[in-house]
Structure 1
Amino acid sequence: MASTAFSSASSLLLSIFIARSGTIADVAMFAIGFAGYMAITGLTRAMVSEPSAARLMGIPNLRISGRQVSAYGLLIGAVALVAGFLAQQPYLVIVGILSHSIALADYAKFVSMVFGHPRMAVTQEFMKLAIVSSGLLIPSIRTQPLILFTLWLIASAATGYISCVLQKISLLPSLRGRQVSIKESSSYATDYALGSGATQLTTFLLGGIAAHSVNASVRGAGTLLGPITVVATSIRALIIPFLSRGLQANANSVTPAANVTIALFVAAIPLTIGVNLIPDSWGHMLLGETWYITRNVLPILSAELIFSLVANVPFAGHRSLGAHRRTLVIRTVMAPLRVTVIVTAAVIGGYIWAAFAMLLTSAVSATVWWISYRSLVKGNL
């Protein structure tokens, strides 16, 4: 939790100061760069870290797997670099250049958190936060969004490399002697692409064909709602074992899942209401000129967040039941639908329509996941 808190704090500071010092166009380009960062960490984690955790690999094999992480990070980074140059997205270009360090920093934290020394992960994120905070004291850094973003990535690189060296994780890229097969990595990567990856793809597409205000408003709302999302993400890891125990006690009941959903709903509602009551003076202080478009979509995206939380519970329920095929089918249908609806709405009606499209698709997704989970539990299918 401490590592997540420090990581979230550095990301929150980054988002706030870029919004405060930059234009709407700056925030929109930052959103694309940040999506690239999330894609690299998410894909390498899915392709190496998650399969390693599932197989309970020992420390020696985990150290060797750093080669795979390096190789995949560089490959994904090359795509980001080329796309950044072609689309004239400087933030994405920086992500592509530093992709090796981005991938390894996330992997080093994973190894220390799951199999090694959790204190090292906490120290890694604390030092990153300290470097970023120190940089914010320098006017020439905190008033230049691209320089601040670069500092944030360099801080991640420095602390990540140090953590790798201390844990004796291989730094050089190689796919020879890999600990996770390409077939297994591809399976996990597909699962990621149909889930969180769809969000990054939407951001990239919006950056290419929609107005800057779309990505900027979504990024601004994401910054303000970020603390709620972090808490929800931390709790999500506990939902699967809770539901599994509940089904053991009563195999044909959706009551445990319903109770978790109600608890999340009750906890999230006052928090989202509080965010929506932020006065204009505070909003402008936090987000600069981006606030004036963010405030228009904040209630809509707050409701979208609630539906996302509601959908997370039955999704975890599918995992607890081992319904992998059903999960893949639903994601294969819902991911393209969500991307298509949001991008189309953004192009036709701008950032307000895009926000409503996000709300609509999240509501449909929550409904589909709940209907499917209920049918699984009741044994109707």
Structure 2
Amino acid sequence: MSRRGLAAVASVLDQAASSATNILVLVLAARLSSVSGFAAFSMVYVAFSVLLGLNMAYVGQTVVLEKTAERLGPVCRSAAAFTGAASAAAGLVLAAAGALLPGAVGTAFLALGCVLPLVLLQDGLRYCFSALRTPQRALAADTLRLVCVVAALAVQPAGASAARLVLVWGLSALPALLLGLWLLRPYVRGARADLRPYLRRGHLGQRFVVEFAVGNGSSQLAVLGLGTFATPLAVGALRGATTLFGPLNVLFNSASAFAPPVLGRLPGKRAVVRATLVLGLVLGALGAGVAAALYALPDRWGRQLLGDTWPAASAVLPATGAQYAVMGLGTCALLTLRVLAPKATLSLQVVFSLLSVAFLLAGYAAWGVTGAAWGLVLGSALKATAAWWRVHRLPAAGPVCGAARPVE
């Protein structure tokens, strides 16, 4: 296999290791916690997911766009330094907010503030290795992260508090962080960190943050809002159900990362649309199939996965499965637009992501947690429909290679 092929395999495996870490963390936390404890942990994990996405958009995506070999060392050192400083500042804010919030949710957010610099910096190094074209180093660090976090959580006692689980989860990132910094050291030795580009107006990451905020972060924040203003149990149910579909996220992200160069070689719009439509149908069918298998899962097996959270999560499985089915189609529609008309995606993300949030909140107000889940389905379905309609109206032009992200 060529060096490029090995790098692609390492990138896919690294994405799989990262996704497996997220899935197993939530599964283990659900099994160890009470329903209310997992709800508090889920609220913290949703907040972390938003911060992780913001860091990926503002820092990570700009790092991987750097093509000048001589600048990679300073760029990677600057990215790591900025991530460390920004996550420390955000951690202080979270710790202060946690000290003011009552009960288990407050102490869990306080714990997140203490460990946030470790987990964000450890994840952020993945983008440095990607820019350096050494994904196998990211894979080594993320595999160690997976082993350490599973081992650390597996030995926690049943009924452990959400704050304790957050601290264990965060501190278990330290070995992987140290390994990642050691693996990065040869590439950044002698380079100087410069944080000023990240603080300037017009930094490219600002545009990526907007796309993330409207495309992914808005629904995450809406779910978090349900826990703050309605009930944390809603967050536990929605997060628990979503966790079970984690392997599909690996496929969505891999398709988004590696399909554009392949599609860019196809001769014209018709060939690109045919390929992405077939891919979308396959991903949609996989989503429906996983949903059917999970819905048929015996309760005792479900409790082995999610503990006391299983009854609440299983109630929204049909809706979550339907959402993942339409996400498969929608992801490929946005992928098509990224290849054929890269500037056409932002307006779709803004309009239909905000609609998804509105449907989520309206569904919860009318029918509770199940209504919220079906509200997300409706938003994802409308976004996918609008994206494919936009593809249909494109002129028959040659493709332009770009990048895409999953529709949520």
Q: Same fold (TM over 0.5)?
A: yes
Q: Distance in 2 between matches of 1:337 and 1:75?
A: 32
CA contact (8 A) 2:64 2:127 kept: no
Alignment-derived partner of residue 73 in structure 2? 60
Q: Distance in 2 between matches of 1:259 and 1:148?
A: 42
Q: Which of 292, 297, 315 is matched with 1:296 structurally?
A: 315
Q: Distance in 2 between matches of 1:80 and 1:376?
A: 45
What is the CA distance between 1:66 and its match in structure 2? 1.8
Q: Distance in 1 between matches of 2:92 and 2:260?
A: 36
What is the CA distance between 1:9 and its match in structure 2? 2.8
Bigger shift: residues 148-157 or 351-360: 148-157
What is the CA distance between 1:361 and its match in structure 2? 1.0
CA contact (8 A) 1:206 1:214 kept: yes
2:57 aligned partner, one-letter code: A
Q: Does 1:28 align with 2:48?
A: no
CA contact (8 A) 2:272 2:336 kept: no
Bigger shift: residues 74-83 or 46-55: 74-83
What is the CA distance between 1:343 and its match in structure 2? 2.0
What is the CA distance between 1:203 and its match in structure 2? 2.2
CA contact (8 A) 1:301 1:359 kept: yes
Q: Which of 77, 87, 90 is matched with 1:73 structurally?
A: 87
What is the CA distance between 1:31 and its match in structure 2? 1.7
CA contact (8 A) 2:108 2:163 kept: yes
CA contact (8 A) 1:3 1:122 kept: yes
Q: Distance in 1 between matches of 2:112 and 2:174?
A: 11
What is the CA distance between 1:301 and its match in structure 2? 0.8
Sort the Cα spacing of 1:252 and 1:60 in 2 relative to 1 into closer, same or farther, 3 A: closer
Sort the Cα spacing of 1:225 and 1:65 in 2 relative to 1 into closer, same or farther, 3 A: closer
1:285 aligned partner, one-letter code: Q
Q: Which of 119, 136, 155 is matched with 1:102 structurally?
A: 119
Q: Which of 155, 167, 180 is matched with 1:150 structurally?
A: 167
2:23 aligned partner, one-letter code: L
Q: Distance in 2 between matches of 1:77 and 1:194?
A: 23
Cα offsets for 1:179-208 (capped at 9, x unmatched): 784422222211111111113211221111
Bigger shift: residues 44-53 or 231-240: 231-240
- How many residues align? The count is 375
SS in 1 for 2:56: helix
Q: Which of 211, 220, 236 is matched with 1:216 structurally?
A: 236
Q: Does 1:15 align with 2:26?
A: yes
Alignment-derived partner of residue 351 in structure 1? 369
Alignment-derived partner of residue 50 in structure 1? 61
Alignment-derived partner of residue 340 in structure 1? 358
Q: Distance in 2 between matches of 1:85 and 1:239?
A: 45
Sort the Cα spacing of 1:59 and 1:352 in 2 relative to 1 into closer, same or farther, 3 A: same
What is the CA distance between 1:340 and its match in structure 2? 2.2
SS in 2 for 1:245: coil
Alignment-derived partner of residue 400 in structure 2? none
Q: Distance in 1 between matches of 2:271 and 2:134?
A: 40
What is the CA distance between 1:280 and its match in structure 2? 0.8
Alignment of 1:1-381 (within 5 A): 1-57=12-68, 58-61=71-74, 62-88=76-102, 89=105, 90-140=107-157, 143-168=160-185, 176-178=195-197, 181-183=200-202, 184-246=204-266, 248-250=267-269, 254-324=273-343, 326-377=344-395
Question: Identity rate of aligned residues, in percent?
Answer: 22
Q: Distance in 1 between matches of 2:90 and 2:340?
A: 33
Q: Distance in 2 between matches of 1:44 and 1:24?
A: 30
Q: Distance in 1 between matches of 2:361 and 2:152?
A: 36
TM-score, normalised relative to structure 2: 0.83
SS in 2 for 1:278: coil
CA contact (8 A) 1:46 1:185 kept: yes
Q: Distance in 2 between matches of 1:13 and 1:253?
A: 36
Sort the Cα spacing of 1:96 and 1:228 in 2 relative to 1 into closer, same or farther, 3 A: same
**RMSD between aligned alpha carbons?**
2.7
Sort the Cα spacing of 1:224 and 1:10 in 2 relative to 1 into closer, same or farther, 3 A: same
TM-score, normalised relative to structure 1: 0.88
Q: Distance in 2 between matches of 1:201 and 1:109?
A: 25
CA contact (8 A) 2:14 2:142 kept: yes
Q: Distance in 1 between matches of 2:195 and 2:246?
A: 39
Sort the Cα spacing of 1:180 and 1:311 in 2 relative to 1 into closer, same or farther, 3 A: farther
1:238 aligned partner, one-letter code: F
Q: Distance in 2 between matches of 1:79 and 1:377?
A: 49
What is the CA distance between 1:153 and its match in structure 2? 1.3
What is the CA distance between 1:145 and its match in structure 2? 4.2
Sort the Cα spacing of 1:29 and 1:182 in 2 relative to 1 into closer, same or farther, 3 A: farther
Unaligned ranges ≥5, structure 2: 1-11, 398-408
Sort the Cα spacing of 1:139 and 1:74 in 2 relative to 1 into closer, same or farther, 3 A: closer
What is the CA distance between 1:303 and its match in structure 2? 0.6
What is the CA distance between 1:141 and its match in structure 2? 7.5
CA contact (8 A) 1:28 1:216 kept: yes
